[in-house]
Amino acid sequence: MSGMQDAGVVGVLGGMGPLATVDFLRKVIDATPAQVDQDHVPVVTSSIPQVPDRTAAFQGRGESPLPALVASGQRLVRAGAGLIAIPCNTAHLWFEPLQQALGLPMLHLIDVALDEAVALVGPEARLGLLGTEATLASGLYTGRGHTGLRWLLPAQDEIARWVTPGIHAVKAGDVPGAAALLVQAAQALADRGAQAIVLGCTEIPLVLNNGNAPIPVVDATAALARRSVAWSLAQRAA
């Protein structure tokens, strides 16, 4: 092997947050059938956490993250990535201009997660959604074309009390505190009749999973990891 010509190099546009990026990289390994190092898929990662806050920008309270996302993605282009995956849901609000600027194939995290949700509970299920305020308010999931799904979102007071503080607690490294907050948010969605909950922020599966959630969860990060590995293995076999 040598240099830029290697096939199947997955580019990870990360750092949003850094722990979610590490979680994604771990799930890439878990999704790969491997006995020795050389069986694993090649990955380059740009984890530049200085990308401006995505929710603040969506709410008009902060600068656009797009220039920083493009700059971080260009690091991956220069490093020889053949595909880009972004383990951050909210950043997908800038997916189209980012893809135009980078000129590489990109996996769309929300589409991958929705495919996984439909496979789990069917195309007409009642799905709960947890995510940042921007992901919830923007229709990033609910407006993505799966018209048969019925969505249950946290109420405003639940977002303020449990969801946003839970996500921030993960980013600050407080895993037990974050878990306690997000389990409550999940329970409220289950109580209103959700059949499964989409973990629509990559910080959330770090603390909420099928072990502590009251109903099944759809881990968008794990779904994106499996799709990235499948792409790489197909490229390398070609």
Applying CB under 8 A, the residues found at the interface with a second copy are 1-3, 6, 9, 15-19, 21-22, 25-26, 28-30, 34-53, 67-68, 71, 74-76, 78-80, 168, 171-173
Our CB check for a second copy shows the closer of 36 and 237 to be 36
Question: Alpha carbon 228 to chain centroid distance?
Answer: 12
Cα 84 to Cα 29, 35, 154, 183, 188, distances in angstroms: 17, 26, 30, 31, 35
CA 120 to mean position of chain CA atoms: 18
Beta strands in the chain (DSSP E): 10-14, 43-47, 83-85, 126-130, 150-152, 196-199, 217-219
Whose Cβ is closer to a second copy: residue 30's or residue 191's? 30
- Residue 18's φ and ψ, nearest 5 degrees, are -60, -40
Known catalytic membership, residue 168: no
Task: Give least dist CB 205 to a second copy, A.
Answer: 15
72 or 142: CB nearest a second copy: 72
Helices and strands, counts by H and E, the chain:
10, 7
Closest CB 43 distance from a second copy, rounded Å: 5
The residue annotated as part of the active site, out of 12, 25, 76, 88, is: 88
Could you say which of 201, 208, 217, 224 is catalytic?
201
Q: Is 201 a catalytic residue?
A: yes
CB of 5 to a second copy, least distance (A): 9
Helix (H, G, I), strand (E, B) or coil at 84: strand
* Residues 182/164, Cβ–Cβ less than 8 Å: no
Residue 95 backbone phi and psi in degrees, to 5: -60, -50
Q: What is the nearest approach in angstroms of a second copy to the Cβ of residue 80?
A: 6
Q: Pick the closer one to a second copy by CB: 25 or 186.
A: 25
7 or 119, CB closer to a second copy? 7
**In Å, how far are 17, 47, 171, 197, 200 from 110, measured between CA atoms?**
17, 20, 21, 14, 8
Compute the least distance from the CB of residue 112 to a second copy, in Å: 21
Active centre residues (catalytic): 88, 201
